[in-house]
């Protein structure tokens, strides 16, 4: 593993600024550091081009197209919601059921607490909108409902809204994970 930043080391542990802010002395050296995380999330973005959503009516676009569309819709609200929209489903190849929790943990130290919670719970809000069930009431509910609405719009037949291109997606990942 190549670290792009020089952190104080104690054996096989690194004292990162994030660990220090959290009141922790150090994190294991084997943990993914910025350049590796950026590389792996970028790899997941490109891997999404070979996947489609397994749910009926959603298999007509790739995961990459879905991510680019949701990010474009999120960009109308904020750069953070664009980032959340881009990465929200990227962990599907790792865990279909728990992909939100997986990607939320990957980017946790790079986003706000609300964005972390939106990523972690976005499946609940999506299900609530699709099945007309009660929407959980949390401080991040507004953003989670926005993301769920953007997800639904991205799968609509005849989607004609703009989407990010791959270069813009790379720039967004670099801004948030670089």
CATH topology for 32-177 is Hypothetical protein af1432 (1.10.3210)
DSSP letter for 134, please.
P
Q: Which of the four pLDDT bands, split at 50, 70 and 90, describes residue 175?
A: very high
Laid out side by side, the sheet with 27-28 consists of: 9-10, 13-14, 27-28
The domain locations on the chain are 1-31, 32-177
Whether residue 172 has pLDDT greater than 90: yes
C-beta of residue 143 within 8 angstroms of C-beta of residue 79: no
Q: Note the pLDDT tens digit of each residue in 115-127.
A: 999 999 988 888 8
Q: Which of the four pLDDT bands, split at 50, 70 and 90, describes residue 176?
A: very high
C-beta of residue 71 within 8 angstroms of C-beta of residue 164: yes
With H, G, I as helix, E, B as strand and everything else as coil, classify residue 13. Answer: strand
Give the pLDDT confidence score for residue 132 in this predicted structure. 85
Whether residue 45 has pLDDT greater than 80: yes
pTM score of the predicted model:
0.77
- For residue 122, give the nearest of 175, 19, 111 by alpha carbon: 111
Pair of tokens at residue 102: 């997986």
Which positions ≥6 away from 70 have C-beta within 8 Å?
85, 86, 88, 147, 150, 151, 154
Rounded to whole angstroms, how far apart are CA atoms 113 and 116? 5
Rounded to whole angstroms, how far apart are CA atoms 27 and 33? 10
Whether residue 20 has pLDDT greater than 70: no
């Amino acid at each position: 593993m190549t670290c792009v930043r020089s952190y104080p080391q104690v054996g096989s542990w690194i004292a990162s600024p994030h660990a220090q802010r959290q009141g922790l002395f150090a994190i294991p050296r084997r943990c993914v550091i910025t350049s590796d995380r950026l590389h792996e999330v970028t790899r997941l973005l490109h891997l999404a081009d070979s996947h489609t959503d397994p749910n009926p009516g959603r298999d007509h676009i790739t995961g990459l197209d879905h991510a680019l569309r949701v990010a474009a819709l999120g960009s109308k609200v904020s750069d953070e919601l664009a980032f959340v929209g881009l990465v929200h489903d990227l962990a599907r190849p790792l865990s279909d059921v728990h992909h939100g929790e997986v990607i939320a943990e990957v980017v946790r130290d790079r986003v706000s607490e609300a964005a972390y919670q939106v990523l972690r719970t976005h499946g609940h809000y999506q299900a609530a909108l699709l099945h007309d069930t009660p929407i959980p009431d949390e401080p991040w509910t507004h953003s989670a409902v926005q993301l769920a609405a953007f997800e639904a719009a991205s799968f609509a037949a005849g989607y004609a809204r703009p989407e990010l291109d791959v270069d813009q997606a790379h720039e967004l990942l670099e801004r948030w994970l670089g």
